[in-house]
């Protein structure tokens, strides 16, 4: 095995309902830890999956119909759409294509931990910059081979200033990956920057479309970049089921938009309630970054004992000790969370 393996941290996902039920002997658990869509995907996708039986055949290598549908959805040419196994899979392909040992990879902390994990796997030199008091990126490095910008940022929920991102794109010598996993929850997208040849904009079906279990992600980029990325995409990166579900989801955008409207409405409700007991930050995503007077880890544990799972930020380098992240759930789930948090904070 590689000599540097112990230096590569594991990706730690949000805890599951089953884990917490078993650990604390609880019957009902609310999970607000992985930024999933609490309303699920369109019933039309479920119907298509139920009826699909051609599992003995390989899926297409580069599913054309899905690519065309995605192109229509984002408003760019199909030749600009690259599809892989989740946005995680897309990100890995970008690293595989661009990053040679010793190359500089730049991103601002705290952010999605997989950028750092990938940098270590591909033996990059990490340039981890700081953010301002509103968690906006304020630095970049012209020398970086790859700059990763997460907007809205996980775990802080803020979007980046488009003028600053444009400055980065125009001034760096390398490539810029803009991670818009949470694009559907904000009007302030940066997608149009794909007009620059060094930019890729990544998206996913895991969040707004409620299809995290199907593992489907994509990125929009210059057609030449897409051709190059296809060389490092695994032979069959997405399953036949993912292709079918993705097409069905794009045929029923109204379902996705309706659930996003509810999530955005409840995000504001949650923010107002949280303001009375803690320090939430304004978010353009389907989660909130919250600071309290207590240690984040201990809050998360106490909430788990009460049957509410939120995300501890110990795996997010640069996040404050007193912070945690909570996904916006259904109204009754959000109410259960607020009640549990009130109890935990009062008992302090």
By CB under 6 A, name the binding residues for ligand PMP: 86-88, 112, 150, 154, 179, 181, 204, 206, 212, 217
User: Cβ closer to ligand PMP: 112 or 135?
Assistant: 112
Q: How far is the CB of 13 from ligand PMP (least distance, A)?
A: 8
CA–CA distance, 243 with 228 (Å, rounded to integer): 22
User: Cβ closer to ligand PMP: 116 or 338?
Assistant: 116
Q: How far is the CB of 177 from ligand PMP (least distance, A)?
A: 10
Q: How far is the CB of 348 from ligand PMP (least distance, A)?
A: 30
Q: How far is the CB of 36 from ligand PMP (least distance, A)?
A: 9
Q: How far is the CB of 98 from ligand PMP (least distance, A)?
A: 17
Query: What's the burial of 313, exposed, middle or buried (CB within 10 Å: 0-12/13-18/19+)?
Result: buried
Q: How far is the CB of 212 from ligand PMP (least distance, A)?
A: 5
Q: Which residues, other chains included, contact 187 with Cβ-Cβ below 8 Å and sequence gap of 6+?
A: none
User: Cβ closer to ligand PMP: 186 or 206?
Assistant: 206
User: Cβ closer to ligand PMP: 35 or 334?
Assistant: 35
CA–CA distance, 225 with 80 (Å, rounded to integer): 8
User: Cβ closer to ligand PMP: 36 or 104?
Assistant: 36
* 135 torsion bin: left (phi>0), alpha (psi -120 to 50), beta (else): left
Token pair 């078993």 in the structure block, residue: 22
Q: How far is the CB of 246 from ligand PMP (least distance, A)?
A: 12
User: Cβ closer to ligand PMP: 211 or 270?
Assistant: 211
Taking CB atoms, the residue at the shortest distance from ligand PMP is 86
- Give the sign of the dihedral formed by CA 309, CA 314, CA 317, CA 320: positive
Strand (E) or helix (H) holding 59: none
CA–CA distance, 341 with 322 (Å, rounded to integer): 14
CA–CA distance, 162 with 151 (Å, rounded to integer): 10
CA–CA distance, 139 with 264 (Å, rounded to integer): 30
CB 98 within 8 A of CB 175: yes
User: Cβ closer to ligand PMP: 204 or 233?
Assistant: 204
CB 194 within 8 A of CB 221: yes
CA–CA distance, 222 with 13 (Å, rounded to integer): 32
Q: How far is the CB of 111 from ligand PMP (least distance, A)?
A: 7
Distances 296 to 21, 221, 335 between C-alpha atoms, Å: 21, 38, 20
CA within 13 Å, CB half, 168: 27
User: Cβ closer to ligand PMP: 155 or 340?
Assistant: 155
Q: What tokens appear for 74 in the block?
A: 């984002």
User: Cβ closer to ligand PMP: 85 or 322?
Assistant: 85
Give the residue among 252, 266, 236 at the shortest CA–CA distance from 47.
252
């Amino acid at each position: 095995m590689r000599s540097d393996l112990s230096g590569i941290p594991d990706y730690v996902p949000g805890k599951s309902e089953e884990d917490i039920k078993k650990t604390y002997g609880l019957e009902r658990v609310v999970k607000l830890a992985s930024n999933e869509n609490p309303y699920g995907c369109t019933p039309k996708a479920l119907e298509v999956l139920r009826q699909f039986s051609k599992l003995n055949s390989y899926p297409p290598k580069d599913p054309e119909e899905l690519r065309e549908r995605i192109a229509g959805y984002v408003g760019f040419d199909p030749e600009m759409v690259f599809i892989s196994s989740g946005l995680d899979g897309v990100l890995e392909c970008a690293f595989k294509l661009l990053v040679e040992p010793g190359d500089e990879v730049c991103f601002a902390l705290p952010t999605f931990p997989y950028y750092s994990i990938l940098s270590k796997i591909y033996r990059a030199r990490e340039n981890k910059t700081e953010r301002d008091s509103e968690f906006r990126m304020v630095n970049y490095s012209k020398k970086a081979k790859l700059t990763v910008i997460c907007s809205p940022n996980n775990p802080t929920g803020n979007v980046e200033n488009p003028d600053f991102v444009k400055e980065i794109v125009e001034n760096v010598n390398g490539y810029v990956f803009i991670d818009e996993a949470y694009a559907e929850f904000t009007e302030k997208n940066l997608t149009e920057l794909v007009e620059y040849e060094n930019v890729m904009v990544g998206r996913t079906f895991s969040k707004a479309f409620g299809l995290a279990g199907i593992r489907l992600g994509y990125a929009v980029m210059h057609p030449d970049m897409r051709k190059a990325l296809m060389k490092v995409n695994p032979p069959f990166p997405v399953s036949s089921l993912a292709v079918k579900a993705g097409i069905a989801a794009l045929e029923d955008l109204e379902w996705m938009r309706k659930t996003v409207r509810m999530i955005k409405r409840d995000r504001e409700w949650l923010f107002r309630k949280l303001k009375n007991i803690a320090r939430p930050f304004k978010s353009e995503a389907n989660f909130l970054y919250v600071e309290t007077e207590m240690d984040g880890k201990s809050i998360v544990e106490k909430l788990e004992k009460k049957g509410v799972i939120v995300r501890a930020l110990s795996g997010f380098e640069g996040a404050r000790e007193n912070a945690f992240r909570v996904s916006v759930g259904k109204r009754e789930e959000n109410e259960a969370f607020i009640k549990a948090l009130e109890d935990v904070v009062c008992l302090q």
